[in-house]
Every structure is written in C-alpha cells, then in structure tokens.
A = this chain, B = another copy of it.
Amino acid sequence: MIDYQKGTRMKEIFQYIQDKQQEYLEELFTFLRCKSVSSYNDGIKECAQLLSEIMEKSGIQTAIYPTQGNPVVYGEIIEDSALPTMLIYGHYDVQPPEPLDEWNSPPFEPTIREGKIYCRGVSDDKSQLYTHIKAVEAWKKTKGRYPVNVKFLFEGEEEIGSPNLLPFVESHKELLSCDVCFYSDSHFHENGKPQINLGVKGLCYVEITIENAKTDMHSMMATSIQNPAWRLVQLLNTMYDSEGHICIEGFYDDVRPISNLEIEAVNKIPVNEKELCEVYGVREFIHGPHSKNFYYNLIFEPTCNISGLTSGYTGPGSKTVLPRQASVKIDMRLVPDQDPEKILKALRLHLNRHGFEDAKMTHYGMVMPSRTRIDHLYVSAAVNAVKLGFEEEPILFPGIGGVAPDFVFTGHINVPTIVIPYAAADQKNHAPNESMVMDGFIKGLRTSAALPYYLAQIGRKGKQE
C-alpha cells in the first residue's frame, strides 16, 4: 500500500489545485474554444500561440518551433542537472467536429452537463495535456520550485498521423534529451478504474491490387480471361490460414518474448468476454493458436486484418461483369520488435514466392510498435502518482491494441514511455459529443502534480534500468 503520509508534502499542492479549480476550468475553456483542426488547418497557428501563453503564465519557458507542417510548442523548466528530466508529450490539434448536427451543444463551446465537459478536443488531448502544465504552476506557487526537470513537447499534427514528429525529434535530440517520457492521451478501463499503458502496437497498412485488363468486361469472357478477383482470393489464401495463423514467411520472427511479469499483469486486467461480445454483437471471440484471453490477444497478438476488399460490381442486385481489377486493404498491427518496413519486404517476397509478382503494393502508413518494461522504476512513479491522485490502484496494461507515436520516444530518445490517461472509456473522441469526465480532470490535475514528486524520489537511477 502507498503511504498517504508520504503524501503530506503533496497536501498543500492538492489544496492549491482545489482552490484554483474554477480558474483552471475557465482557462481550459479558453483553450478549448480555440479551434485547432489539423486535417483542414483551422486555427492551428492561433492555438499554438495560445498554448504557449498558457504555459508561460504557468511559469514555463516556451518556444514555438516551426516544422514542415504545424508548429511544435516546446517548453522547459531545468532546475538541476542532477535531477531526473521528464518529457511530457501531447498534442494541441483536434479532430474535425463533423457531423455537426449530431452535437448536443456547439462543438467548440465547452458545456458542462452531468459531470462532463463536452467539447471537441476536450479529452483528445487538450484537458489531459493541460493538467501537466498546471502541475508546474501548483509546485511553483506552493513550493517555489519544480522537484525535477521537465520538458514539454506539444505537436499540432497528431490527428493527421504525426508526419513531422519524428523529423523534429531527430533534429532536436539535445533539446529533448531526458530520462523518461510521460503523456496523457488515452482513457480509463471500461470498468471506470484508472489504467496505465506501457505500450502500443505498430502499423503496416498496405493495399494490394491485381490488375488484369483495361476495362471491366462482359462476364462471358471469364472462360478465357483470368478474373483478378479469383487471383486475389488465391493470393490472400496464402497469407492467412483457417487457424488464424499469419503465413507470411518471417512475419513472427521478431516478436519479442512476453515476460512473466507481463503475463501476470494481463491476468489482472478485469474482463467480461460475454458482455464484450454483446457490445460488439458477435457470438463469440476467436481463439487462435496463441490465444489466451481477450486482453492477452489484444496486447500481444499481431494482426493481419482485411480492412477493405473490392472488385467489380458492388451495388444492389446483379450485374454480370468480369472485373478489370481487384484490391484489398490490409492493416497489420504489429508488436515489439516487429518492424513495418521489414514486414513490408517480407510480404513482397511472400507474394513473389507464391507467383504474384504482378500484384501491386501501395503502403499507406508505417508505425513502429513500442513497449516499456513493466518493472522499470519509473513505472512505479506513475503507479504511485495515480494511487495518490485517484486514491485507486491503476490497472497496468503492458500495451494496448491501438497505435500511437511512442516509438519516437522509446526508439529515438531511448527512454521508457508511460501513458497515464485521465479520460473515461466513453469519451467519444473522434466522434460527436466528445467529453471529458470532470472527476478525471480534477484527479488528473492531482496525479500530474504527484508524478514529479515520485520521480524525484527515484532520481536519475531510473535511467540505467
């Protein structure tokens, strides 16, 4: 058990946060009202400027860095080089609000209803990153100093796939050097308990097309002209067997062994498969060759999923046509240490080896997977901060099924990366009526403030882990 006595030092800070609650909400609302839609570049520049002003007012030295795309808002407090340095990542851009007519209140006018703040971007990621800014102010105002060094890296392109994040990090390695990366851009477990995520999946998205002729033809020609849809079926059949095993030669080669600690953690994640099946409207979950349970699969199993399949006539009723081409969109979610570039090459080789040299491949995205060791000392700092902030034990997720740019930090700055989410599972990010649960915001402010306290206790030795 954590000793809340130890938290006596935090008492004064938590009191300060409580006193400031109304003021913080007002400032957050100003931040939320500032549209920052990256997909059609609406308000990005203004929002970066506003964010930097909020950070400055909170006692953080900031700088706006241009990139090939939207600017990065950087900030830092360097107290002492002997102290550990944490990097706080986040993003100030938001998803488009459309479809507008499905919102119950205007998408860019924050509105409180039944304990939730409704606004586009409120959970993804504005109020979550805001808690880390206010943690600085709370420490400075009550203790006169922050207990560790901190650097803030807020990008404006997360919702369009972070195309300039890695280039920025690569060209600013000195600036961003640190001991650990934290961020808050996810959600609690569906049972309402806080969770901590230590990894994400990678992605390799590829479209495979078999083209056979100049135009669609009368289907009578099928006696002499090869149907590209049949060839695509044959191609796909070489990639995946009826047991759920992915048959691309070498696909599983780089899968990192799963540690006993990770298995223990997954076994502790609450799960009600029957209830989940009902939610998704499926009879049962599949249990392939490696299958253990829902979360074990979600976290540790790579996938080769057909996201889209199309050929010929796809309207209602019938039309007799010999299609000129057939194509499939495949998204492969990868686990450490699978490398999407290597997988793409393996797929090309696989197709050639099976006689599909003519199949065209177009790739739409590659993201490296990432996973931080569950026994890393800095993980315990996050766990203790959540315990203090939420007065609850967080659920430890060795990874999640989603994709995020964690590898930019674990792979290019070489630091553990730990996600501490403050939004509820029903946050509806990316959808109309996005919300942030007020309780999560308040407890998030406390947790973000407690995080550097526990980090300072561990010190820089975490680095060597």
Contacts and interface: CB of A to CB of B under 8 A. Distances in A.
Interface of A: 201, 203, 205, 207, 212-215, 217-227, 229-230, 232-234, 236-237, 240, 242, 280-282, 285-286, 291, 294, 297-298, 301, 303, 305-315, 317-324, 326, 328-329, 331, 333, 364-365, 400-402
Contacts of A223: 297-298, 301, 303, 333, 401
Given A220-B201, A220-B401, A312-B308, A280 B225 contact: yes
Nearest to A203: B320
Interface core residue of A205, A224, A324, A402 (most chain B CB under 10 Å): A224
Contacts of A322: 305, 307
A87 to B, nearest CB: 26
A303 B219 contact: yes
Contact of A222 (B212, B303, B308): B303
19 contacts: A205-B320, A213-B280, A214-B280, A215-B281, A218-B401, A218-B402, A219-B307, A220-B303, A220-B401, A221-B298, A229-B306, A230-B306, A233-B237, A234-B242, A237-B237, A308-B323, A313-B329, A314-B329, A318-B365
A224 B323 contact: no
A226 B307 contact: no
Contacts of A222: 303, 305, 333
Contacts of A282: 212-213, 225-226
A310 B310 contact: yes
Contact of A331 (B240, B301, B320, B326): B320
Q: Give the dominant DSSP class at A's interface.
A: mixed
B297 A307 contact: no
B225 A286 contact: yes
A104 to B, nearest CB: 21
Given A213-B282, A222-B305, A297-B223, A329 B318 contact: yes
Contacts of A402: 218, 220
A333 B220 contact: yes
A205 to B, nearest CB: 5
A224 B294 contact: yes
A310 B307 contact: no
A212 to B, nearest CB: 6
Contacts of A318: 205, 207, 307, 329, 331, 364-365
B227 A306 contact: yes
A407 to B, nearest CB: 17
A213 B284 CA distance: 10
A192 B347 CA distance: 49
Interface core residue of A207, A306, A326 (most chain B CB under 10 Å): A306
B298 A224 contact: yes
B311 A319 contact: no
